[in-house]
Amino acid sequence: MNLPNRLTLFRIVLIPILVLVYLFPYAQFGIELRSWLIGSVSVSAVNLICLAIYMVAALTDFLDGRIARARGMQTTFGKFADPVADRMMTTTMFVLFVSRGIISPVPVILMTCRDIVVDGCRMLAAANGKIVKAHMLGRVKSVAQMVVIALILINNLPFELWGLPVSEVLLWFSTFVSAASGITYFNQLKDDILESK
């Protein structure tokens, strides 16, 4: 297994670690973790640890694709596992936020449904021998989701100090772009999807 694929697998391995750190019942085990007050906004050590893990995962996402392209190490496994790892990570983080009542489940449901539709389109394309290239909207969606997750983990700082709901606005922006890119993928393959034999 080459280096890019190992980085992708490492990103997947980080997911259960992230879940454990975020949901672990520290108080039940007598573990007290610090929180820092910035202005009127509190940021916990747990969130900062999760942010660090998430940033490492984001770095591996950047590196695996860059290394694969630069060294000619692109593989079928990598093409499959890389987007799967990305979606697993972002969906896991959003579900964790929903579980704590931090965000509404609606955008998470919409983005997850979009991902299912896009994966179905890609599977159909592969079965028909077609290659569906990543769309610019998909890249914008991925970047917006990464920024949203980071902002939520630091409680929307520094924007929260000024009363600006930037993380919430970006969450809905991500949802809109996600839906738009899903429609784009569908339109690219609608003839194959709607064909009847």
What pLDDT was estimated at residue 124? 76
Task: State both tokens at 115.
Answer: 């991902």
The CB density around residue 127, as the number of other CB atoms within 10 Å, is 9
* pTM attached to this predicted model: 0.90
Over the stretch 44-96, which tens digit does the pLDDT of each residue have? Answer: 999 999 999 999 999 998 888 888 888 888 887 777 788 889 899 999 999 99
What are φ and ψ of residue 157, in 5° steps?
Answer: -75, 145
Amino acid at position 117, single letter:
V
Q: Where along the chain do its domains lie? A: 3-194
pLDDT tens digits along 86-133: 899 999 999 999 999 999 999 999 999 998 888 877 777 767 766 666
- CATH homologous superfamily for the domain 3-194: CDP-alcohol phosphotransferase transmembrane (TM) domain (1.20.120.1760)
Residue/partner pairs of 97-105 with CB below 8 Å, 24 or more apart: 97/152, 99/23, 102/152, 103/152, 103/168, 103/171
